[in-house]
Structure 1
């Protein structure tokens, strides 16, 4: 390969990585608001073995930077995952607190599908300085959430729209200490942007006439933060690999504004647009993965991942006028994700994959809110990879995520953070389909 050809490919690779993340649109697909969809080759086994590099390409570096040590030469990977989310609200019921008369809250009791379909891309580039030292760059959207009920739904005092997007850029390095041990690490540079909408019963709180005047608040904010990733890869035999990885928390101080709509002109000056801020801390993740080749065709793999969701105790928005501060209790719990998978090489060019996984929900029914009405998830995935040329390899995968029916039951006794928002009950029927495609260029 001529120096100019190599330079052109490196520039193309860097450009691919640079534009991958900003194209992302996010929907919450794993426990909490995590997005697992960062590797299509990994998706084929329900992400079993990705911490140990079982998917065999540079996209494993998102889960464990030490897996870059498995790459020969240089490699570019671009993924795109099409997400079809169904989250239907049924039997929604809302009343005011008993001390306010317990009257029904009017509005749309059947807002339909509150989820949004999305295309989530990710990009990776690994450059081999030599056989032992690798440099990498990845662009991802690791956290995201969109739910939208519409301004007139009967649970509007608890939340209308929740929208979180993150864009993560991670330069990484790995080093093979000896044939058995490889270590890796990276620096996360993360941009977060959020919007929260909610209605307030202004008629009840200010006029003494519940339901006569709703005011909708829209809070927007953004921030840059940083964190790190660490990983190790242990290869006790030529057929077996064990991966260990840790992704740090990233703290954001989202700053922006809150604006209000719905006030009559005579009262508009009472609630001008003003400064607002909120704290967001993405949770730590620790994982362990196993990959084992039974023979030159069959391989089995597993992954276990712990996420520190107990960090998320409340959603607090601070406003310049402190009387307008908003707090929603969350009280989430730490979660585990367990996956088992297998791959089979039909030929040297064609590999089939399959996997199952269990993703524990982070919220109990007592604290589940309409902003993130999440529940346990059960994954079933299949995938295939095919070598088109010596340097170009493509992957495709399909997953269905089964989500048991769930519900929310919130009680308003006019005390605590949710005072005045009303009693709310609703049932949810949800499911997710994911179709992913991936291209890998090695040179």
Structure 2
């Protein structure tokens, strides 16, 4: 192996995998929206306009003017289902004809089941000012493909864990006007791996594994307008620039040209942006029992345009996400003094694009159908529950890559696949305690 191949081979090996995150099977791309059991029951259709600690993640103005303190705790069990299917993916090794890439042409349920916790607390300082703290996990999942999967050169295991700590303040400037602001202190930890092809199809695959973590900061600001029968909420959650620092391990490469790349590199870095959110919501009380809700969210996923890898790799991986949106409508119905019933529907548009979608992010447009309810067990404790069914459209997996790109050993992967029969079930339970 001559030195002139060394840096390009390291960079192009990473390019073959793409440092991206698999789609959480119920949010947008790798975003989780399950931050409130109450909100899930109406398909997240009025969160920026509702009040109390349950809505703190969406709008810090939600806690302004509180009369009592409130603590909220919840957990969502997520069960994703679906197939990632090969429809003719080919690999073209140097000097060889194109041949099928995989052994296992169908990867079933690659996104793991999991539980997402969330919590918040808010305390009034006086009749107009309140402070709060929300702890959530907006980007968390694990996805795994078998070692003989057709998608192995794009993804084997991808794991992402995020903790978002949001200290907030809300102020009731007037009886009808509330404002709020918050910091989003976010810890992110990631591990991902994929197979690397050796030059002979008779040789077993090599692998690469990238790990990293880091702390970063963003912010949230919001406003709410209130009258006797309606509330309108508008909030903005900033994009966050993430810088992960960790290590890159490459192994299993064989032969005189590839084996010198087997190594572990400490101090590897990756930089990318998670999107901003512009949220507009309304809650409209039509009778003493019935409240209608609506919410639209604009995601600036185009900020996730590439992933920039630092020394010694020194390259940028294009992602080419597009801005996207979700639209939700729902209702709250107070059946009696203790029981409130909810339901809602949400439409979400994927930020991934045809021609740029890979097996790490098998995302698609979806419909979210949700039901839920709250029961006031005591004057100070309320139990919330919710259930959602998310139905995904079929979508292509068609992002073409190349291992060892830019060298004489370039090995194109001509990806052709599809996400089929994808759906998810989400069951949540939570409690709200006032004090």
TM-score scaled by length of structure 1? 0.86
The match for 2:90 is 95
The match for 2:237 is 247
Determine the C-alpha separation between the residues in 2 that align with 1:299 and 1:170.
28
Determine the C-alpha separation between the residues in 2 that align with 1:49 and 1:228.
21
Correspondence for 1:400 among 385, 389, 413:
389
The match for 1:376 is 365
Indicate the larger mover: 146-155 or 356-365.
146-155
1:152-191 deviation line (CA, Å, top 9, x unaligned): 2122222222222210111100010010111001111110
Determine the C-alpha separation between the residues in 2 that align with 1:139 and 1:257.
28
Determine the C-alpha separation between the residues in 2 that align with 1:274 and 1:415.
18
Taking structure 1 as reference, are residues 400 and 28 closer, same or farther at Cα in structure 2, changes over 3 Å only? closer
Determine the C-alpha separation between the residues in 1 that align with 2:416 and 2:83.
14
Is the CA contact (8 Å cut-off) linking 1:248 and 1:285 kept in structure 2? yes
The match for 1:232 is 223
Q: What secondary structure is seen at the aligned counterpart in 1 of 2:133?
A: strand
Residue 438, structure 1, aligned to residue 424, structure 2 = no
Taking structure 1 as reference, are residues 152 and 421 closer, same or farther at Cα in structure 2, changes over 3 Å only? farther
Determine the C-alpha separation between the residues in 2 that align with 1:85 and 1:415.
34
Residue 287, structure 1, aligned to residue 266, structure 2 = no
Determine the C-alpha separation between the residues in 1 that align with 2:402 and 2:154.
14
C-alpha displacement of 1:233? 0.7
The match for 2:29 is 32
Is the CA contact (8 Å cut-off) linking 1:61 and 1:68 kept in structure 2? yes
Q: What secondary structure is seen at the aligned counterpart in 2 of 1:73?
A: coil
Determine the C-alpha separation between the residues in 2 that align with 1:411 and 1:191.
31
The match for 2:8 is none
The match for 1:206 is none
Is the CA contact (8 Å cut-off) linking 1:39 and 1:79 kept in structure 2? yes
TM-score scaled by length of structure 2? 0.88
Taking structure 1 as reference, are residues 197 and 318 closer, same or farther at Cα in structure 2, changes over 3 Å only? farther
1:90-142 deviation line (CA, Å, top 9, x unaligned): 34532123974112224322232101111101010001111100010110001
Unaligned runs of 5+ in 1: 1-25, 204-208
Determine the C-alpha separation between the residues in 1 that align with 2:204 and 2:317.
22
- Supply the RMSD in Å over aligned alpha carbons: 2.3
C-alpha displacement of 1:74? 0.5
Indicate the larger mover: 139-148 or 259-268.
259-268
Residue 257, structure 1, aligned to residue 237, structure 2 = no
Correspondence for 2:338 among 333, 340, 349:
349
Indicate the larger mover: 128-137 or 419-428.
419-428
The match for 1:7 is none
C-alpha displacement of 1:260? 2.1
Is the CA contact (8 Å cut-off) linking 1:274 and 1:319 kept in structure 2? no
Which protein, 1 or 2, shows the higher relative CO under an 8 Å CA cutoff with sep ≥ 6? 2
Aligned residues: 407
